[in-house]
Structure 1
């Protein structure tokens, strides 16, 4: 009933061409529009990756290797791994041109159960926890100037983070273009602070501030365990390298723009990250960096004073840009999972007015706000990192499998087989290393939560119990009327 009223309303608002379509009974399908070009694609990658990570992770990376040389090497190696992983995803994204990132690739290679476990984990753990972590980081930086000499109250941080989630969710629900324009602006803003830090570092190096780089490998602590944990922290700052695959259906000319965005975007981020770390070490020794509460702020205080306030301001822009890019892309994952019937069907509906997957984005924002309530960033990062690399590795393994099982698929991009093999092996190490070196209960909880998805799959997807459908049908109808959304395949005029 709600769907029919929406169709009539939409038909009444159309002009002569639509009336001719009604008369001739020609169906018109509502789909997500191809509105994201090459520049927006690069900004989406750069804007999503460069968030709060580069301003807090250098301390964690250095703590695991304890020397400047290995630290800089780790940052470069993380960029190489992210690029290799993204190139694997580029082959997958141009071979299977569906939005939703890993979901459709796992579906094609391994069937519905691994794909469902991925969507289950992503919808309720990795994506909203990442969104929550970024917005909590934003809130800490944004509130810090108002509480000099002490930590901001947790209630203030949580409320500010929740407000950021609400605003970003509304923006991305209203317009694809508005979300893209906001991303482009925030990316430009964050690149300003990145450029300020890099240029300041180069100037200091030119002035001879190279003492901290002498004997840069002396005193380093190198082991499989320490390297793995250093990679873990470095890769947290690079996370988002696969985000463009979540909006493949909205990319203009994806065969060209997807790989180009990756080839330009991720190496650009890698160069920036290495140079930023070099800049940090021009003004801080390893010991001073480890003692700093906020590395970028310490750098600003020593180099930019009295204009050091610029650093926290632009870090706020950086985290907002990362949160916006995460929301823009992750909402598409919820949308695809709903389209496949793995979550409520309403989540795959599209807004009649705005042509956005509004229900999916709103759902994603709501779950992220729930994660903000406990507000424990460290535990959220543990949950996120452990779970996400399980599925990164599984997805790249899917590429290897489909080289043999789906030879008929067209591959506009074909990476050498050694690349997915390397990424798969590194993923296995990254998943197992933290468990072996520093076993903690969150890893067990995360594993049990992922496996619990099997029960949900059996009850609601495989057997499709009638009582579950009776409950979901009225919910879908009322939400459809409230949000003014319709299923993409059923819109005919």
Structure 2
């Protein structure tokens, strides 16, 4: 009996030894904790806008009170949206943000149209604009008294895109560490501005807040400003599905950003009148000149850090969107492959960075972003509507976070209003261009996804094979020794 028992034990040990030496499955690296998630949100949303041009809000409402109200309302709506995305992120634990949510709720066509618009225009264009903003501030000290040459700005912006792309392709940890550092640097200048404003308010400098709603106006242009402001928060809501920590990150991070935005604006108005703020080319720099005196040089330096942090966060999140679209077969399959060495979606991130560099070549892409700004709201509202739909069609899905249905209903209704109101009140050709571009995605879907022409596969197969060997990437389901 002792001999048989020894044989059985030996057999179990052999089986365990074999199992322990089985090659691991290649999976996307998911090293993103709660603190890194919060830093990614804050670092992505707070870019250069709050430091450079809050005067655009004031210019459209013409009073301090409505200006602060719009910033706060934007934050409240973003927080409600964050709660909706927190439920979606814990219910459908896939990377890619709106893409998998739209796929589960409405099927492949709306999901493809979202990826079509996002991959080719909105995401890379946004990345390019952020890096161009960085380049302008980084090069300005070397050209005192004049604007830096456009060639210098574009080359510096392209270099920033290349560096950020390489960092995020090499390691999730490295990208997270970079984001944590840049966010810490960003929060230093945010804290300096907020504390300075509080001190000045405590000293009784409240003259600029008297009759704060006098002479205000709300119009269609105000709605457009609201849309543009809220787009900063939407940037951070399109990807938080990598771990259960990240829905908690958005619930903490977005209200934190909202409080920062409102307090920063209060600090600005404490130091400057409405007229002075409108005349300032860079509001934060003017604030620094008046409050920080000899240390005012830190403002442009930290604006550079802030912009880099926003660009890094944008690259990290949007690269995942490309990866998921490739995994679903809606773009070249190679874009869903992951690096054997680094376990990152390197092809997707490199693709995203390449498109962003291409968008730097035109002189002005702000107008291009405006053409497609309301498309972000279309898919945002459609995604939240999908949450309501799945309450009835996908009851079997587990929901670790479950928000009252009134919250997605409010967000969906506001999205519809913000999409339709500017079109009805002041119809413009950019809305038509955007609509036509979105609909052109139906043609691409029919040709390359639904029909899957054999000639397209014959062309893409050798390209994929050679690029796969060059970049050392494999499909996620493959294994390695």
Contact kept, 8 Å, 2:208 with 2:269, in 1: the verdict is yes
Instruction: Give structure 1 stretches of 5+ with no counterpart.
Output: 239-243, 249-256
Q: Distance in 1 between matches of 2:445 and 2:392?
A: 28
Q: Distance in 2 between matches of 1:181 and 1:16?
A: 43
Q: 1:308 to 1:98 in 2, by over 3 A?
A: same
Q: 1:159 to 1:236 in 2, by over 3 A?
A: farther
Q: 1:8 to 1:478 in 2, by over 3 A?
A: farther
Q: Which residue of 2 aligns with 1:209?
A: 205
Contact kept, 8 Å, 1:57 with 1:237, in 2: the verdict is no
Q: Distance in 2 between matches of 1:129 and 1:15?
A: 60
Deviation at 1:431, TM superposition (A): 1.8
Contact kept, 8 Å, 2:84 with 2:403, in 1: the verdict is yes
Q: 1:115 to 1:3 in 2, by over 3 A?
A: farther
Deviation at 1:113, TM superposition (A): 0.3
Instruction: Give structure 2 stretches of 5+ with no counterpart.
Output: none
Q: Which moved more, 1:292-301 or 1:346-355?
A: 292-301
SS in 1 for 2:29: coil
Contact kept, 8 Å, 1:301 with 1:308, in 2: the verdict is yes
Contact kept, 8 Å, 2:48 with 2:303, in 1: the verdict is yes
Q: 1:187 to 1:17 in 2, by over 3 A?
A: farther
Q: 1:473 to 1:442 in 2, by over 3 A?
A: same
Q: 1:5 to 1:89 in 2, by over 3 A?
A: farther
Q: 1:487 to 1:18 in 2, by over 3 A?
A: farther
Q: Which residue of 2 aligns with 1:458?
A: 446
Deviation at 1:247, TM superposition (A): 5.1
Deviation at 1:378, TM superposition (A): 2.5
Deviation at 1:284, TM superposition (A): 1.0
Q: Which of 238, 258, 263 is matched with 1:245 structurally?
A: 238
Contact kept, 8 Å, 2:86 with 2:248, in 1: the verdict is no
Deviation at 1:164, TM superposition (A): 0.5
Deviation at 1:227, TM superposition (A): 4.0
Contact kept, 8 Å, 1:119 with 1:337, in 2: the verdict is yes
Q: Which moved more, 1:105-114 or 1:440-449?
A: 440-449
Q: Give a deviation string over 1:137-174, Cα, whole Å, max 9, x none.
A: 11111112222222221111111111100000000001
SS in 1 for 2:404: coil
Q: CA RMSD in A?
A: 6.1
Deviation at 1:24, TM superposition (A): 9.2
Q: 1:2 to 1:178 in 2, by over 3 A?
A: farther
Q: Distance in 2 between matches of 1:54 and 1:407?
A: 41
Q: Distance in 2 between matches of 1:273 and 1:108?
A: 34
Contact kept, 8 Å, 1:99 with 1:245, in 2: the verdict is no
Deviation at 1:18, TM superposition (A): 15
Q: Which residue of 1 aligns with 2:248?
A: 260
SS in 1 for 2:54: helix
Q: Which moved more, 1:41-50 or 1:150-159?
A: 150-159
Q: 1:486 to 1:422 in 2, by over 3 A?
A: same
How many residue pairs match? The answer is 474
Q: TM-score, normalised by structure 1?
A: 0.90
Q: Which residue of 2 aligns with 1:252?
A: none
SS in 2 for 1:15: helix
Contact kept, 8 Å, 2:168 with 2:349, in 1: the verdict is yes
Q: 1:25 to 1:296 in 2, by over 3 A?
A: closer
Q: TM-score, normalised by structure 2?
A: 0.92
Aligned ranges for residues 40-439 of structure 1 at < 5 Å? Answer: 40-223=36-219, 226-229=222-225, 231-233=226-228, 235-236=229-230, 238=232, 246=239, 248=241, 257-439=245-427
Deviation at 1:473, TM superposition (A): 0.2
Q: Which moved more, 1:466-475 or 1:384-393?
A: 384-393
Contact kept, 8 Å, 2:78 with 2:230, in 1: the verdict is no
Bigger CA radius of gyration: 2
